[in-house]
Amino acid sequence: MDSVAWFGAIEFIQPRLGWVQYKRCATEFWLPYDTTWLLHAVWDALIVLALLRAMVLVLGGSSVRRWDRRAPILLGAMGMAQELALESTQTLWEYVPCLLNPQWATLNGRPMTLQQWHWSVIPGMVYTRALRGQWELMTLQDR
């Protein structure tokens, strides 16, 4: 649930800053512009769940029971890989380069912008928060 909240904030703010647009994209015709950010946040949260599952397959089940310093690095790398793969091929939304959101690359004719780098950090933050929450719950149960 944390990842929906984290991505919800990001996806709510970005269109209002002009960094992402849903016009001229596939979602424009079937989803109201004012609520597309919510779909985008849920979509991102589901991707994080898939990344966490892939992390368990790579690092083993112990990575969700105790801190594994490799996990945030792996999650960040997988997060950026999926971001570049999806954003260079889909047309659900488009990121708009501007002064505060500069373009750093072009893939398949689509601009890749600075804000997309949040995928190198947020999956690891979700992992860390989830483990911290698990530890807090275990501490409360021990009382």
pLDDT digits (tens, 9 = 90+) for 17-70: 777 776 666 666 666 667 777 777 888 889 999 999 999 999 999 998 888 999
pLDDT digits (tens, 9 = 90+) for 86-118: 888 877 777 888 888 899 999 998 889 888 898
- The span from the CA of 19 to the CA of 17, in Å, is 5
Domain locations in the chain as residue ranges: 2-137
Residue with tokens 């780098």: 117
Q: What is the pTM of this model?
A: 0.82
DSSP-H helix ranges across the chain? 2-17, 36-59, 70-87, 122-142
139 has a pLDDT exceeding 70: no
pLDDT at 103: 92
Name the amino acid, one letter, at 70: R
